[in-house]
Structure 1
């Protein structure tokens, strides 16, 4: 009996089979991690309303560092996968070493600034004196260990660039499990371990990062995916520029998503507190409904980058179109399930009739555009994989400022909440059409440049 592979030849193996085999482990890891994150929030909520508010205030700040880490991991994956596709193994190993060092240095600088200016920063966000006490208890520890957050993220990107998504998913599950197990013990105390409240939650998170960092560094060195020799200054700067050229625009594009959500939330606020509550429920459902698309957006880029490096652009186009068609059919199936279950789902989150009504309206309209939104997400990640970060960032800006916000605003002004939701769907349609045509044109142009 043959053992299942954990690493696939992204330039030779069957396209559909390879993408499926790479995506399934990532999907399992993301679902598990999302579940553990909810458990984390649940235990903190048991401490009280002020503590829950404190952890809510930390999200914008922590998300800024996480966005940078995600952007750097995207840049890392694109650079290393292209080198591997071109057969430049030593370059790929050097890229991996520099990526880990660069990401650690950048996150460390931001973490030090965050630690030093924590009080004015969170006061600016609206935290009062009582809430700041708990924010400090959590974030002072969080900032001190932030470097350990980025190491597993970038390290996992190195593994994915090499065609291995099974190992990253296992590391994600192990880290999340450690956090979930330690949370109640450190927050509420157990036996000789005292109750540490918010500090306990932060230490549990830090412990999960330590495990992830140790595992990933051990595996990368053992598999010789990163070099361990000294890299001269000239090569160091060259590699840094390659990674940052993709990583920084990717981080910026990633941060546009919460910005769009903040703007839409402000729009919903004009319809009352019930509308805001309902929109919050819809946003949570969206993150779950689109999880397959998010998993694909992490496995498609290394596939594209390796084939781009190998000069096999036909496989790039085939993979992109295959994933595009899949997400349209998949998300339409998800929409049908959500539409049928709209009322019971809404009742899970609220008993208030107006909130239930708006949640149902959201479910019956907005998920119609999830497949189209998936096309845009995949196109964004594919542009980064083709080393075209400017196109990825431009697409994100166009989606937000040309289509999404203006159409939602126009629909809301003309037809109220229903019109706002319809505007979101139309915006996703316009952006998806643009994204599809734009990427296919980019691939055709790249082919002509290579063959010229």
Structure 2
């Protein structure tokens, strides 16, 4: 079976143009969605510092579920894109169906585990009883609906594996817009709708995810026939699940380290008081917007690498990584300058508390210095997964967070207080970027040498 035209673009088109065409719609969709998520933070901030701090405590936990979803979507995209590069569209459909059922089951199990041990988790992060009671109003709704978040993400990974990024990006933007519309209505109430506070913010997210599920399943299943609504062959589905898990679980594990590191950082920040926790929570959301090009490329680069990996075009896959990495360095330097200029204004927008504003201003000035170097690491992780080397990605994440980032941030905090915490984090990103750059380029080179000798892109 021949590959699709979009697959041929990934295999034969100009790399810079191909990456640009795939990434631009993703950036637009993510900007829209993340901007509306910042609107979510803005409305919660209007409720006061305590609700803002309470929701900030939930961020590592919600991001843990999201990271699991991202990890599984990376595994899904890597496996399916390689199969498409080899020209087998029917097998790709079987794998796509298996990925959806597998991911829904795993996320449901993780959500139930968090729900069962919520008190231990949040108290370990430094939450007080009053903060815990407040944040659970948000988390109870969020955890019950989070399976509806994973399904569109896996569907989007299937689209991207086929070289399609416009439709999933529009779906992301639509869900974000609906969430932003529902936020003030459900948080503050409107007419017969009662004010639900931070619980309303979670409910708005669940409703928007539900609508995204309905739309994406219709297009992917009924119109494009890229998934089956039910697995047709149990043995084939189980075999596909095992192969997806071989990449998806280490990839998910690597992504799960991010919220774990954030939980540790939140616990460290809690020792400085609630205003610092609130500032860290807002800063993390601003960071998501500032790093949007990195995040978009981390989604669109792997299908390019995986398809070319499947087609044994290793040099082309290597070139794709280098083009993306060099671009993010330049782009993030521009973003760091823009954030430094607007730091005072951003602090005023997201909090009226002078202590929160002061810490947030320094966060926005210092932390973006390391975003470009952080991008080198994130793209290296994505490339390792695309090359079916998920254990390398997992080890790199461990080195990043628990050898470099957290220890250096903690030392900085010990020496210079909360601002030293930020400086240490930037130094951690510098060290990890050097390791990642050497490692991923060496891996590509070994694949190229082996492919030239053996005719197979495997070590």
TM range (shorter): 0.7 to 0.9
Instruction: Please list, as runs of the form range in 1=range in 2, the aligned pairs for 1:344-359 lying within 5 A after superposition.
Output: 344-345=345-346
Q: Is the 2:53–2:275 contact (alpha carbons within 8 Å) kept by the matching residues of 1?
A: no
Q: Secondary structure of the equivalent of 2:13?
A: coil
Name the residue aligned to 2:399. Answer: 398
Bigger Cα displacement from structure 2, 117-126 vs 316-325? 117-126
For residues 404 and 182 of structure 1, what CA distance do their matches in structure 2 show? 37
Name the residue aligned to 1:318. Answer: 319
Name the residue aligned to 2:233. Answer: 232
Instruction: Please list, as runs of the form range in 1=range in 2, the aligned pairs for 1:324-335 lying within 5 A after superposition.
Output: 324-335=325-336
Bigger Cα displacement from structure 2, 315-324 vs 411-420? 411-420
Bigger Cα displacement from structure 2, 209-218 vs 415-424? 415-424
For residues 421 and 120 of structure 1, what CA distance do their matches in structure 2 show? 27
Name the residue aligned to 2:376. Answer: 375
Bigger Cα displacement from structure 2, 57-66 vs 189-198? 189-198
Q: Measured at CA, do residues 8 and 190 of structure 1 come closer, stay the same or move farther in structure 2, by a change above 3 Å? A: farther
Deviation track 1:180-199 (CA, whole Å, cap 9, x = no partner) reads 22333344444444555555
Name the residue aligned to 1:87. Answer: 87
TM-score normalised over the length of structure 1: 0.86
Q: Give the superposition deviation at 1:322.
A: 0.5
Bigger Cα displacement from structure 2, 330-339 vs 100-109? 330-339
For residues 134 and 88 of structure 2, what CA distance do their matches in structure 1 show? 49
Deviation track 1:299-333 (CA, whole Å, cap 9, x = no partner) reads 11111111111111111111111111111111122
Q: Give the superposition deviation at 1:447.
A: 2.4
Name the residue aligned to 2:303. Answer: 302
Q: Is the 1:28–1:169 contact (alpha carbons within 8 Å) kept by the matching residues of 2?
A: yes
Structure 2 gaps of 5+ residues are 455-459
Bigger Cα displacement from structure 2, 103-112 vs 257-266? 257-266
Name the residue aligned to 1:75. Answer: 75
Q: Give the superposition deviation at 1:80.
A: 0.7
Bigger Cα displacement from structure 2, 46-55 vs 419-428? 46-55
Q: Measured at CA, do residues 285 and 190 of structure 1 come closer, stay the same or move farther in structure 2, by a change above 3 Å? A: closer
For residues 128 and 34 of structure 1, what CA distance do their matches in structure 2 show? 29
**2:149 paired with 1:152:** no
Q: Is the 2:44–2:52 contact (alpha carbons within 8 Å) kept by the matching residues of 1?
A: yes
Q: Measured at CA, do residues 98 and 328 of structure 1 come closer, stay the same or move farther in structure 2, by a change above 3 Å? A: same
Q: Is the 1:8–1:164 contact (alpha carbons within 8 Å) kept by the matching residues of 2?
A: no
For residues 132 and 177 of structure 1, what CA distance do their matches in structure 2 show? 29
Q: Is the 1:145–1:206 contact (alpha carbons within 8 Å) kept by the matching residues of 2?
A: yes
**2:437 paired with 1:446:** no
Q: Measured at CA, do residues 137 and 417 of structure 1 come closer, stay the same or move farther in structure 2, by a change above 3 Å? A: closer
**2:31 paired with 1:28:** no
Bigger Cα displacement from structure 2, 117-126 vs 430-439? 117-126
Q: Give the superposition deviation at 1:436.
A: 1.3
Q: Measured at CA, do residues 388 and 53 of structure 1 come closer, stay the same or move farther in structure 2, by a change above 3 Å? A: same
Deviation track 1:244-273 (CA, whole Å, cap 9, x = no partner) reads 122222222222223334444555666777
**2:332 paired with 1:338:** no
TM-score normalised over the length of structure 2: 0.85
Q: Is the 1:366–1:425 contact (alpha carbons within 8 Å) kept by the matching residues of 2?
A: yes
**2:170 paired with 1:170:** yes
Report the number of matched residues.
448
Structure 1 gaps of 5+ residues are none
Name the residue aligned to 2:257. Answer: 256
Bigger Cα displacement from structure 2, 25-34 vs 201-210? 201-210
Q: Give the superposition deviation at 1:91.
A: 1.2
Name the residue aligned to 1:11. Answer: 11
Q: Secondary structure of the equivalent of 1:9?
A: helix
Q: Secondary structure of the equivalent of 1:224?
A: coil
Q: Measured at CA, do residues 52 and 272 of structure 1 come closer, stay the same or move farther in structure 2, by a change above 3 Å? A: closer
**2:63 paired with 1:63:** yes
For residues 230 and 357 of structure 1, what CA distance do their matches in structure 2 show? 54
Name the residue aligned to 2:107. Answer: 107
For residues 348 and 436 of structure 2, what CA distance do their matches in structure 1 show? 36
Bigger Cα displacement from structure 2, 251-260 vs 324-333? 251-260
**2:229 paired with 1:210:** no
